[in-house]
Protein backbone atom coordinates (compact mmCIF):
# COMPACT_ATOMS: atom_id res chain seq x y z
CA UNK A 1 0.00 0.00 0.00
CA UNK A 2 1.40 3.37 -0.97
CA UNK A 3 1.92 6.15 1.55
CA UNK A 4 -0.75 8.20 -0.20
CA UNK A 5 -3.33 5.44 0.28
CA UNK A 6 -2.33 5.00 3.94
CA UNK A 7 -2.69 8.71 4.63
CA UNK A 8 -6.10 8.74 2.93
CA UNK A 9 -7.36 5.82 5.05
CA UNK A 10 -6.12 7.39 8.25
CA UNK A 11 -7.84 10.65 7.32
CA UNK A 12 -11.14 8.90 6.65
CA UNK A 13 -10.91 7.04 9.95
CA UNK A 14 -10.24 10.29 11.80
CA UNK A 15 -13.24 11.95 10.15
CA UNK A 16 -15.53 9.01 10.92
CA UNK A 17 -14.61 8.82 14.60
CA UNK A 18 -16.76 11.76 15.78
CA UNK A 19 -19.69 10.50 13.70
CA UNK A 20 -19.45 7.06 15.28
CA UNK A 21 -19.37 8.58 18.75
CA UNK A 22 -22.37 10.71 17.89
CA UNK A 23 -24.34 7.69 16.61
CA UNK A 24 -23.70 5.87 19.89
CA UNK A 25 -25.57 8.55 21.85
CA UNK A 26 -28.86 7.03 22.96
CA UNK A 27 -32.09 8.92 23.57
CA UNK A 28 -34.65 7.46 25.94
CA UNK A 29 -37.20 8.11 28.66
CA UNK A 30 -36.07 9.38 32.03
CA UNK A 31 -36.81 7.25 35.11
CA UNK A 32 -38.93 10.12 36.45
CA UNK A 33 -41.23 9.96 33.42
CA UNK A 34 -41.61 6.18 33.54
CA UNK A 35 -42.34 6.27 37.28
CA UNK A 36 -45.07 8.82 36.54
CA UNK A 37 -46.57 6.46 33.92
CA UNK A 38 -46.60 3.65 36.49
CA UNK A 39 -48.40 5.83 39.02
CA UNK A 40 -50.92 7.01 36.44
CA UNK A 41 -51.54 3.41 35.34
CA UNK A 42 -52.29 2.37 38.92
CA UNK A 43 -54.89 5.12 39.18
CA UNK A 44 -56.43 4.11 35.87
CA UNK A 45 -56.65 0.46 36.89
CA UNK A 46 -58.31 1.33 40.20
CA UNK A 47 -60.85 3.68 38.62
CA UNK A 48 -61.87 1.23 35.89
CA UNK A 49 -62.03 -1.67 38.35
CA UNK A 50 -64.36 0.26 40.66
CA UNK A 51 -66.54 1.33 37.71
CA UNK A 52 -67.04 -2.28 36.62
CA UNK A 53 -67.63 -3.73 40.12
CA UNK A 54 -70.72 -1.55 40.67
CA UNK A 55 -71.78 -0.65 37.12
CA UNK A 56 -74.03 2.30 36.52
CA UNK A 57 -74.43 3.65 33.00
CA UNK A 58 -73.90 7.34 33.81
CA UNK A 59 -70.99 6.65 36.17
CA UNK A 60 -69.40 4.28 33.67
CA UNK A 61 -69.53 6.88 30.91
CA UNK A 62 -67.89 9.45 33.19
CA UNK A 63 -65.15 7.03 34.26
CA UNK A 64 -64.44 6.12 30.65
CA UNK A 65 -64.16 9.81 29.74
CA UNK A 66 -61.78 10.48 32.63
CA UNK A 67 -59.71 7.42 31.72
CA UNK A 68 -59.61 8.46 28.07
CA UNK A 69 -57.84 11.69 29.01
CA UNK A 70 -55.23 9.87 31.08
CA UNK A 71 -54.52 7.28 28.41
CA UNK A 72 -54.28 10.18 25.96
CA UNK A 73 -51.83 12.06 28.17
CA UNK A 74 -49.47 9.07 27.93
CA UNK A 75 -50.14 8.36 24.25
CA UNK A 76 -49.30 11.92 23.19
CA UNK A 77 -46.14 12.36 25.28
CA UNK A 78 -43.88 10.86 22.63
CA UNK A 79 -42.37 8.21 24.90
CA UNK A 80 -39.45 6.18 23.58
CA UNK A 81 -40.88 3.10 25.31
CA UNK A 82 -42.94 1.88 22.38
CA UNK A 83 -44.80 -0.81 24.33
CA UNK A 84 -46.19 1.84 26.68
CA UNK A 85 -47.33 3.95 23.74
CA UNK A 86 -49.08 0.96 22.16
CA UNK A 87 -50.88 0.08 25.42
CA UNK A 88 -51.88 3.73 25.94
CA UNK A 89 -53.30 3.99 22.43
CA UNK A 90 -55.28 0.78 22.87
CA UNK A 91 -56.64 1.99 26.20
CA UNK A 92 -57.53 5.35 24.73
CA UNK A 93 -59.46 3.66 21.93
CA UNK A 94 -61.45 1.54 24.37
CA UNK A 95 -62.43 4.60 26.41
CA UNK A 96 -63.27 6.84 23.47
CA UNK A 97 -67.04 6.33 23.37
CA UNK A 98 -67.65 9.87 22.06
CA UNK A 99 -65.73 9.50 18.80
CA UNK A 100 -66.49 5.83 18.25
CA UNK A 101 -70.14 6.66 17.71
CA UNK A 102 -70.79 3.57 15.59
CA UNK A 103 -70.14 1.25 18.53
CA UNK A 104 -72.90 0.17 20.89
CA UNK A 105 -73.25 2.13 24.11
CA UNK A 106 -75.44 -0.17 26.18
CA UNK A 107 -74.30 -1.02 29.69
CA UNK A 108 -72.94 -4.47 28.85
CA UNK A 109 -70.82 -3.15 25.98
CA UNK A 110 -69.42 -0.33 28.12
CA UNK A 111 -68.54 -2.82 30.86
CA UNK A 112 -66.58 -4.88 28.35
CA UNK A 113 -64.78 -1.79 27.09
CA UNK A 114 -63.94 -0.72 30.65
CA UNK A 115 -62.60 -4.22 31.38
CA UNK A 116 -60.46 -4.11 28.24
CA UNK A 117 -59.20 -0.62 29.11
CA UNK A 118 -58.29 -1.84 32.60
CA UNK A 119 -56.19 -4.61 31.07
CA UNK A 120 -54.41 -2.06 28.88
CA UNK A 121 -53.73 0.07 31.98
CA UNK A 122 -52.10 -2.95 33.63
CA UNK A 123 -50.16 -3.62 30.44
CA UNK A 124 -49.03 0.01 30.34
CA UNK A 125 -47.80 -0.21 33.94
CA UNK A 126 -45.93 -3.47 33.36
CA UNK A 127 -44.26 -2.22 30.18
CA UNK A 128 -43.27 1.02 31.92
CA UNK A 129 -41.72 -1.08 34.69
CA UNK A 130 -39.61 -3.02 32.17
CA UNK A 131 -38.47 0.17 30.43
CA UNK A 132 -37.71 1.70 33.83
CA UNK A 133 -35.36 -1.17 34.69
CA UNK A 134 -33.54 -0.63 31.42
CA UNK A 135 -33.35 3.12 31.98
CA UNK A 136 -31.81 2.61 35.42
CA UNK A 137 -29.29 0.05 34.18
CA UNK A 138 -28.42 2.04 31.07
CA UNK A 139 -29.37 5.70 31.62
CA UNK A 140 -30.13 7.46 28.31
CA UNK A 141 -27.76 10.14 27.09
CA UNK A 142 -30.72 12.31 26.15
CA UNK A 143 -34.23 12.38 27.60
CA UNK A 144 -37.18 14.74 27.73
CA UNK A 145 -38.58 16.10 30.97
CA UNK A 146 -42.17 17.21 31.52
CA UNK A 147 -40.94 20.78 31.20
CA UNK A 148 -39.47 19.98 27.77
CA UNK A 149 -42.81 18.58 26.60
CA UNK A 150 -44.71 21.64 27.80
CA UNK A 151 -42.23 24.04 26.21
CA UNK A 152 -42.40 22.08 22.96
CA UNK A 153 -46.20 22.34 23.03
CA UNK A 154 -45.98 26.08 23.62
CA UNK A 155 -43.63 26.51 20.65
CA UNK A 156 -46.00 24.53 18.42
CA UNK A 157 -48.88 26.79 19.48
CA UNK A 158 -46.87 29.92 18.70
CA UNK A 159 -45.96 28.54 15.29
CA UNK A 160 -49.58 27.65 14.48
CA UNK A 161 -50.97 31.03 15.46
CA UNK A 162 -48.21 33.05 13.80
CA UNK A 163 -48.51 31.01 10.61
CA UNK A 164 -52.30 31.31 10.57
CA UNK A 165 -52.27 35.07 11.08
CA UNK A 166 -49.61 35.56 8.43
CA UNK A 167 -51.77 33.73 5.87
CA UNK A 168 -54.54 36.36 6.02
CA UNK A 169 -56.84 33.49 5.01
CA UNK A 170 -59.77 32.61 7.29
CA UNK A 171 -59.82 28.96 6.25
CA UNK A 172 -56.10 28.45 6.95
CA UNK A 173 -56.37 30.48 10.14
CA UNK A 174 -59.28 28.37 11.41
CA UNK A 175 -57.31 25.17 10.87
CA UNK A 176 -54.28 26.57 12.67
CA UNK A 177 -56.39 27.81 15.58
CA UNK A 178 -58.08 24.42 15.87
CA UNK A 179 -54.68 22.72 16.09
CA UNK A 180 -53.37 25.24 18.62
CA UNK A 181 -56.49 24.77 20.74
CA UNK A 182 -55.94 21.02 20.67
CA UNK A 183 -52.37 21.44 21.92
CA UNK A 184 -53.57 23.76 24.69
CA UNK A 185 -56.04 21.03 25.65
CA UNK A 186 -53.39 18.29 25.64
CA UNK A 187 -51.16 20.49 27.80
CA UNK A 188 -53.97 21.10 30.28
CA UNK A 189 -54.64 17.35 30.49
CA UNK A 190 -50.97 16.65 31.18
CA UNK A 191 -50.56 19.53 33.65
CA UNK A 192 -53.63 18.39 35.60
CA UNK A 193 -51.85 15.12 36.32
CA UNK A 194 -48.55 16.66 37.42
CA UNK A 195 -47.72 18.20 40.77
CA UNK A 196 -47.03 21.92 41.16
CA UNK A 197 -48.32 22.54 37.63
CA UNK A 198 -51.48 24.53 38.30
CA UNK A 199 -50.14 27.73 36.74
CA UNK A 200 -49.38 25.92 33.47
CA UNK A 201 -52.79 24.26 33.52
CA UNK A 202 -54.57 27.58 34.05
CA UNK A 203 -52.57 29.18 31.23
CA UNK A 204 -53.54 26.31 28.93
CA UNK A 205 -57.23 26.67 29.83
CA UNK A 206 -57.05 30.42 29.21
CA UNK A 207 -55.39 29.66 25.87
CA UNK A 208 -58.30 27.40 24.92
CA UNK A 209 -60.71 30.25 25.66
CA UNK A 210 -58.63 32.71 23.64
CA UNK A 211 -58.65 30.33 20.67
CA UNK A 212 -62.43 30.00 20.90
CA UNK A 213 -62.71 33.79 20.91
CA UNK A 214 -60.46 33.99 17.84
CA UNK A 215 -62.71 31.58 15.95
CA UNK A 216 -65.79 33.65 16.84
CA UNK A 217 -64.21 37.06 16.18
CA UNK A 218 -66.07 39.11 13.51
CA UNK A 219 -62.98 40.88 12.14
CA UNK A 220 -59.19 40.69 11.92
CA UNK A 221 -58.71 43.40 14.54
CA UNK A 222 -60.36 41.24 17.19
CA UNK A 223 -58.66 38.13 15.84
CA UNK A 224 -55.31 39.80 16.43
CA UNK A 225 -56.34 40.96 19.90
CA UNK A 226 -57.40 37.47 20.98
CA UNK A 227 -54.32 35.95 19.37
CA UNK A 228 -52.15 38.07 21.64
CA UNK A 229 -53.97 36.58 24.63
CA UNK A 230 -53.34 33.08 23.33
CA UNK A 231 -49.67 33.82 22.66
CA UNK A 232 -49.30 35.29 26.15
CA UNK A 233 -50.67 32.02 27.53
CA UNK A 234 -48.11 30.00 25.58
CA UNK A 235 -45.33 32.25 26.91
CA UNK A 236 -46.51 31.69 30.48
CA UNK A 237 -46.56 27.94 29.88
CA UNK A 238 -42.92 28.09 28.80
CA UNK A 239 -41.89 30.28 31.72
CA UNK A 240 -43.51 28.10 34.38
CA UNK A 241 -42.95 24.68 32.82
CA UNK A 242 -39.90 24.05 34.98
CA UNK A 243 -42.08 24.02 38.12
CA UNK A 244 -44.03 20.93 37.00
CA UNK A 245 -43.08 17.60 38.53
**pLDDT tens digits, 130-160:** 999 999 999 998 898 999 999 999 999 999 9
DSSP-derived secondary structure letter, 144: -
Degrees (nearest 5) of the Cα angle 150, 151, 155? 120
Torsion of CA 208, 213, 219, 224, to 10 degrees: -40
Residues spanned by CATH 1.20.120.230 within the chain? Answer: 146-240
Please tell me the pTM assigned to this model.
0.83
Residue 28 gets the label, from left (phi > 0), alpha (psi -120 to 50) or beta, of beta
Residue 196 gets the label, from left (phi > 0), alpha (psi -120 to 50) or beta, of left
**CB-based contact 157:234 (threshold 8 Å):** yes
Average pLDDT over residues 180-187: 96
Residue 95 has pLDDT above 90, yes or no: yes
Distance of alpha carbon 185 from alpha carbon 209, whole angstroms: 10
DSSP-derived secondary structure letter, 219: S
Task: Give, in words, the CATH class of 146-240.
Answer: mainly alpha
**pLDDT tens digits, 11-56:** 434 444 444 444 455 789 999 999 999 999 999 999 999 999 988 9
| Least confident among 48-57, 104-113, 199-208, 225-234 | 104-113
The H-or-E segment that residue 167 falls in is helix 146-167
Domain 31-137 adopts which CATH fold? 1.20.120
Amino acid sequence: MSNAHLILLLGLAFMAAPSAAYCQAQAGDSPETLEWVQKLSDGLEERLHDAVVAPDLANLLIKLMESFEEFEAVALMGLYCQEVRVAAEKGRNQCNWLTNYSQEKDLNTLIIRAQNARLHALEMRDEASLCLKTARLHPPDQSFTFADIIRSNASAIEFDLSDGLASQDLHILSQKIEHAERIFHDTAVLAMRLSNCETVRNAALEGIQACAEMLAAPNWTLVNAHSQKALACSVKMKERAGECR
